[in-house]
Structure 1
Amino acid sequence: MRWKTAILTASDRGARGEREDTSAQVIRELVEEEINGEIIEYRIVPDEMDEIMASLIEMADYFHADLIITTGGTGLGPRDVTPEATLKIIEREVPGLAEAMRAASLQKTPFAMISRGVAGIRGKTLIINLPGSPKGVHENLQAVIGVLPHALAILTGREEGHPQ
């Protein structure tokens, strides 16, 4: 199965064109190679609650993405608002994904415990927040990528029940 995937980068510097978005490139490569994902939308927005929320809603409701992966805005800085924006637009949380990502990342760095990323569902779209660094993106996404096809199949109605 092909999974329609959207990537949203929250970065003031990226939105101004002052920084190359290497984190999104890591997401693209992992999604295409590991879960047969097709990138249907990609954008960079500043760390602004309204812009992040509007992009997530558009990607889920109008582009009908099966999966939206965000990068950036999950730290402790005053403009790091991606988790709050995500929580405002999702219908249900999927805390196990965020917990698994933090636990896996914690094996590599103690700074993982200050990452505030969340995961949740809007309609038939799974949304996952990743850190902003390419290394953090790779470590966190690797921790959960193996369960994503099953999770997406259940969420989108292409599969029922639990694997045997």
Structure 2
Amino acid sequence: MRKNDAAYVLVVSSSVARGDATDTTGPELIEWLRGLGFATPDPVRVSDGHAVADALERILRDAPAVVITTGGTGLTPDDVTPEMTARFVERRVPGIEQALIAQGLEHTPHAALSRGIAGVAGSTLVINLPGSRSAVRDAMVTLAPLVPHACEQIADVRTHGRGVDEAALDAPAQPEASGGAPAELADQPATTSAVVATRITRDPCLTDAASTVVTPECGAVVEFSGVIRNHDSGRGGVVGLDYTCHPDAEEMLAQVVGEVAQAHPGTRVLCEHRVGSLQVGDVAIVVAVAAAHRKAAFDCCEDVVNQVKARVPIWKQQHYDTGGHDWVGLQ
């Protein structure tokens, strides 16, 4: 990904623009984009309708690397964000559109009603997202590995396209540190942490969470999966667990993971926790952490698991082959 590129978030909601509702998606997208390395100002908030086109025109004058809109992609008469976006897009990227719908359909059939488009306007990647917080969080998981790579392609960042300093060709090679990193960079990991995604879901957790958090700057990736076992506290015969949670649990999860990430500078963190009925062998929680060095990744991963278990209001009822059950961790 190109360094120090700008990314903008355009929140499309008449109620938010009037001040009648709170913007819940814009701040999360801002934090996520900053975690990906983009210079991202506060969200731009506009009403549904033609105000979207006016805002896009102003934003695109700055030729940012990315513009993400949220809201106005449905079927109501004033949901015209895709139409306003299409005025500026020169090349569609249907693969991104399809990936977002496919991710959404894993959680709700209503995802099929989203008409958001993705494409390139000049040198800017523009992506429409729905306005719901859950849809945006799902989208961040899908887009995390795609957006940086797309920006590189749009900017034509590749070896044969870069200018070559002829003097550098004659300079002696610099020694590399262990792991292949240039010596002058080996002890300079990134200091900004990022929460790539958090989610509480009834669906299976990601099977390759590591690929979602890793970037070229990361030299270590740790992935933890908490699996349902057939015994607990010396008692066998466990056949499954039922997980339930407080209505605010997902918000608490995001807060806790964010605090842990900030306590471990330079880390990129993902955490998913399942609820519902799980059987022996099912994965209940996945945590993935990427960092420049392994100690930071290991320490952060362990801290996330411990803090989520201690602070996020998720409860589990354990079932036995005798037909009995008990609540784990409740006195």
- TM-score (normalizing by structure 2): 0.46
Q: Match of 2:77?
A: 78
Residues 10 and 67 of structure 1, relative CA distance in 2, 3 Å threshold: same
For the Cα contact (< 8 Å) 1:154–1:160, is it kept in 2? no
**What is the Cα deviation at residue 156 of structure 1?**
2.0
Q: Match of 2:46?
A: 45
Q: Match of 1:18?
A: 20
Q: Select the structure of larger CA radius of gyration.
A: 2
Residues 60 and 41 of structure 1, relative CA distance in 2, 3 Å threshold: farther
Q: Match of 1:7?
A: 9
**What is the Cα deviation at residue 10 of structure 1?**
0.9
Matched, 1:149 2:157: no
Q: Match of 2:37?
A: 36
- CA distance in 1 between counterparts of 2:93 and 2:159 reads 18
Q: Match of 1:54?
A: 54
Question: Percent same amino acid at aligned positions?
Answer: 35
**What is the Cα deviation at residue 138 of structure 1?**
0.9
Letter in 1 for 2:43: Y
- CA distance in 1 between counterparts of 2:20 and 2:152 reads 38
**Structure 1 residues not aligned, in runs of 5+:** none
For the Cα contact (< 8 Å) 1:4–1:37, is it kept in 2? yes
Q: What SS is found at the alignment partner of 2:11?
A: strand
- CA distance in 1 between counterparts of 2:85 and 2:159 reads 26
Q: Deviations over 1:23-60 (max 9, x none)?
A: 11121122122x112213631111122x2112112211
- CA distance in 2 between counterparts of 1:46 and 1:160 reads 43
**Relative contact order: is structure 1 or structure 2 higher (C-alpha 8 Å, sep ≥ 6)?**
1
- CA distance in 1 between counterparts of 2:38 and 2:124 reads 14
Deviating beyond 4 angstroms after TM superposition, the runs of 4 or more aligned structure 1 residues are none
Q: What SS is found at the alignment partner of 2:43?
A: strand
Question: Hey, which of these two has a bigger chunk of strand by percent?
Answer: 2
**What is the Cα deviation at residue 65 of structure 1?**
1.0
Question: Hey, which of these two has a bigger chunk of helix by percent?
Answer: 1
For the Cα contact (< 8 Å) 1:90–1:122, is it kept in 2? yes
1:60-71 maps to which residues of 2 (within 5 A)? 60-61=60-61, 63-71=62-70
For the Cα contact (< 8 Å) 1:131–1:137, is it kept in 2? yes
Q: What SS is found at the alignment partner of 2:40?
A: strand
**Aligned pairs, number:** 158
**Structure 2 residues not aligned, in runs of 5+:** 161-331
